[in-house]
């Protein structure tokens, strides 16, 4: 049951093989049995899930069901959920009960999906290993001594362990794609503005984007269909029609032109990961694609640019956590400044504080031009690299992450080495492009992700190209042992 696709689960619901209540209870039981060793959930909502499942069963009986009606899913704990605790992985929001639903949550609810609960994540989505969560690290179900990646590590781990058929994630610098790669699942970061940011707790507003995390591209298409679309409540939401993401999944790849950026295959890339990527590229050649080498010459500047832009926006966004209106407040503040300073120092963990400090510094008087303005100029150069590349090729492919999973604790004391695990994903956010990570041949038993980058609003093409590989190979069907 737990290895079935969303389409197969939906067919079973329609055929009356099981009810949504039974399906939901099945996954709740799996979470109870298996998640103690993984810590992929911060909050499990059994009661709410079963109530939603009962409502879905009524729709199914009335013949009003859509593709997601009655399907259990999980939400990254960055999405506000009305009446359910939303922590964002932080002590700051340990007892925060949102008074409203994020648009992503509302849309999936309206599509009939059943939320099982809220998944663990790096605090305020700042991290690449899920070790910065106040609620403890998530363990990678493939090897519980290694990290699942981050920041959507809980979503990636729970889908990989088949504790939920699908989950939502968010991606500011690789936070959907990198954990998808490390956990052996499919993760799509859509074009900036494709999915509403309303109710998604903001980290870096010009980079943040929500997307689906699933076991296959076909399932990601179903999830994205429900999530995407214009939302007047998000001032940067794209006013673009939403295509049918499932109808073109089987399209032929003959003549597809794939660009391989030489900068993504150089120094720093693990040799075993490189072999897995090359093998997948070979599969695409068999499917009729043409492969050419391209250059994205400013690739090496993506991480430095990101670590100005993202902390700058984070320091501004996180100024709302002041101990006054919601969130953590310190005991017995002696004055207002003490209230702000101690509430924030107690509520935020080390990595969040580091980024707030870097951002504050970069935006402070006398430093703005040298850091923030310069970074936004270099960001344009990085974006121009992609623009030139898409004049030559249809899609860009390369590794999602430079290595397969690393050990818990291995990089925790060295922020800069941790930042470099997003070296291939960050530029995509800076340019606002869509990217997907899909599992390919494992390296020494650990999952490896192939990243496919498309032009603006090319999600349907990315899903098509990912799906064709998943038709030709079965890497995406592999599940961790003991699951």
Residues taking part in catalysis: 76, 151, 175
What are the tokens at 387? 């623009």
Question: How far is the C-alpha of 277 from the C-alpha of 270, rounded, in Å?
Answer: 11
- For other proteins, the closer of residues 292 and 357 by Cβ is 357
Nearest residue (CB) to other proteins, 376 versus 473: 376
Using rule CB under 8 A, residue 4 touches other proteins: no
- Tell the smallest beta-carbon distance from residue 246 to other proteins (Å): 25
Among 46, 51, 55, 339, binds other proteins (CB under 8 A): 339
Structure tokens at 468: 């064709």
> Considering only residues 160-199, where is the footprint of other proteins by CB under 8 A?
191-193
DSSP state string for 397-446: EEESSSSS--BTTSSTT-HHHHHGGGTTTHHHHHHT--EEEEEEEEETTE
Which of 8, 11, 110, 370 binds other proteins (CB under 8 A)? It is 370
| 383 contributes a contact to other proteins by CB under 8 A | yes
**Minimum CB–partner distance for residue 411 and other proteins (Å):** 13
CA 20 to chain centre: 26
- Residue of 375, 393, 397, 426 interacting with other proteins (CB under 8 A): 375
User: Is residue 322 involved in binding other proteins (CB under 8 A)?
Assistant: yes
Among the listed residues 49, 102, 66, 97, the one whose alpha carbon sits nearest the alpha carbon of residue 210 = 102
Q: Strand, coil or helix: what is 169?
A: strand
Q: Which is nearer to other proteins, 58 or 320 (CB)?
A: 320
Q: Closest approach of Cβ 154 to other proteins, in Å?
A: 23
Closest approach of other proteins to the CB of residue 455, in Å: 12
Rounded to whole angstroms, the maximal C-alpha distance in the chain is 70
Query: How many CB atoms neighbour CB 444 within 10 A?
Result: 9
Write down the least CB distance from residue 219 to other proteins, Å. 27
- State yes or no: residue 304 binds other proteins (CB under 8 A): yes
Cβ(71)–Cβ(10) below 8 Å? yes
Among 315, 437, 446, 464, contact with other proteins (rule: CB under 8 A): 315
Strands (E), 303-399: 395-399
- What's the distance, CA 164 to chain centroid? 15
CA distance 407 to 152: 17
Number of chain positions touching other proteins (CB under 8 A) = 71
Residue 450 backbone phi and psi in degrees, to 5: -95, 125
Answer for which of 29, 278, 285, 367 binds other proteins (CB under 8 A) is: 367
Residue with tokens 């500011």: 172
Q: How far is the CB of 405 from other proteins (least distance, A)?
A: 23
Whole-angstrom distance, CA of residue 290 vs CA of residue 428: 22
CB atoms within 10 A of CB 369: 8
Report the site for other proteins in 102-161 (rule: CB under 8 A).
none
Residue 25 engages other proteins in binding (rule: CB under 8 A)? no
d(CA 395, CA 461): 9
Q: Which is nearer to other proteins, 249 or 378 (CB)?
A: 378
Residue 111 or residue 453: which is nearer to other proteins going by CB? 453
Per CB under 8 A, the list member of 61, 364, 392, 477 interacting with other proteins is 364
Q: List residues bridging with 397 in a β-sheet.
A: 452
Where are the extended beta strands (E) located within 309-426?
Answer: 395-399
Contact between residue 115 and residue 74 where contact means Cβ atoms under 8 Å apart: yes
Distance CA 161, CA 321 (A): 34
Of 241 and 482, nearer to other proteins (C-beta) is 241
The nearest distance, CB 98 to other proteins, in angstroms, is 8
* Closest residue by Cα to residue 88 from 341, 340, 350, 327: 327
In 3D, which of 103, 143, 6 has the Cα closest to residue 442?
A: 143
Q: Does the protein bind other proteins through residue 287 (CB under 8 A)?
A: no
Touching other proteins, residues 399-458 (CB under 8 A): 415-416, 419, 430-433, 456
Complex with other proteins: residue 344 or 476, whichever CB lies closer: 344
C-alpha span between 39 and 415 (Å, rounded)? 23
Q: Is 358 in the site for other proteins (CB under 8 A)?
A: yes
Q: Which is nearer to other proteins, 182 or 433 (CB)?
A: 433
Determine the interface stretch with other proteins among 25-33, 56-64, 362-370, 437-445 (rule: CB under 8 A).
362-370
**Which span (32-40, 147-155, 244-252, 360-368) binds other proteins, by CB under 8 A?**
360-368
The least CB distance from residue 457 to other proteins, in Å, is 9
In whole angstroms, what is the distance from residue 135 CA to residue 39 CA?
8
Other CB atoms within 10 A of residue 241 CB? 8
Cα–Cα distance for residue pair 208/202, rounded to 1 Å: 7
- Using the rule CB under 8 A, give the single segment among 73-81, 149-157, 243-251, 329-337 that binds other proteins: 329-337
Q: Report in angstroms how near the CB of residue 339 gets to other proteins at its nearest.
A: 6
295 binds other proteins (CB under 8 A): no
Question: Binding residue for other proteins (CB under 8 A) from 94, 265, 374, 471?
Answer: 374
Interactions with other proteins, residue window 47-106 (CB under 8 A): 96-97, 99
Nearer to other proteins, 269 or 431 (CB): 431
């Amino acid at each position: 049951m737990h290895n079935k696709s969303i389409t197969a689960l939906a067919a079973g619901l329609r055929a009356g093989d099981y009810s949504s209540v039974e399906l939901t209870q099945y996954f709740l039981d799996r979470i109870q049995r298996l998640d103690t060793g993984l810590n992929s959930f911060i909050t499990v909502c059994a009661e709410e899930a079963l109530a939603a499942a009962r409502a879905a069963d009524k729709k199914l009986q009335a013949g009003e069901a859509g593709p997601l009606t009655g399907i259990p899913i999980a939400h990254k704990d960055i999405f506000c959920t009305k009446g359910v605790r939303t922590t964002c992985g932080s002590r700051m929001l340990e007892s925060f009960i949102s008074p409203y639903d994020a648009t992503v949550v509302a849309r999936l609810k309206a599509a009939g999906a059943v939320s099982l609960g809220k998944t663990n994540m790096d605090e305020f989505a700042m991290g690449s290993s899920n070790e910065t969560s106040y609620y403890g690290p998530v363990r990678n179900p493939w090897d519980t001594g290694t990290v699942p990646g981050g920041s959507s590590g809980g979503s990636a781990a729970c889908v990989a362990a088949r504790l939920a058929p699908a989950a939502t994630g968010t991606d500011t610098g690789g936070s959907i794609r990198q954990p998808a790669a490390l956990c052996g699942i499919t993760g799509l970061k859509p074009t900036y503005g494709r999915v509403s940011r309303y109710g998604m707790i903001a980290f870096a507003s010009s980079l943040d984007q929500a997307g689906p995390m699933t076991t296959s591209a076909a399932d990601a298409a179903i999830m994205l269909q429900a999530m995407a679309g214009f939302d007047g409540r998000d001032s940067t939401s794209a006013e673009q029609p939403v295509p049918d993401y499932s109808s073109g999944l089987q399209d032929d790849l003959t003549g597809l032109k794939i660009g391989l950026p030489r900068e993504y295959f150089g120094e720093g890339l693990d040799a075993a990961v490189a072999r897995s990527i090359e093998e997948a590229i070979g599969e695409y050649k068999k499917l009729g694609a043409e492969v050419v080498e391209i250059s994205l010459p400013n690739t090496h500047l993506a991480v430095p640019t990101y670590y100005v832009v993202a902390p700058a926006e984070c320091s501004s966004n996180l100024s709302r956590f002041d101990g006054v209106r919601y969130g953590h407040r310190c005991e017995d503040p002696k004055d207002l400044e003490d209230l702000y300073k101690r509430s924030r120092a107690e509520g935020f963990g080390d990595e969040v504080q580091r980024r707030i400090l870097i951002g504050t510094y970069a935006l402070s008087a006398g430093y703005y031009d040298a850091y923030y303005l310069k970074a936004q100029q270099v960001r344009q150069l990085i974006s121009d690299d992609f623009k030139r590349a898409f004049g030559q090729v249809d899609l860009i492919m390369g590794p999602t992450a430079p290595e397969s999973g690393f050990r818990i604790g291995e990089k925790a004391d060295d922020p800069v080495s941790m930042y470099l695990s997003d070296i291939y994903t960050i530029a995509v956010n800076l340019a606002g492009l869509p990217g997907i990570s899909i599992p390919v041949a494992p390296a020494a038993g650990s999952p490896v992700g192939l990243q496919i980058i498309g032009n603006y609003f090319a999600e349907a093409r990315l899903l098509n190209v990912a799906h064709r590989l998943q038709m030709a190979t079965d890497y995406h069907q592999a599940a961790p042992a003991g699951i």
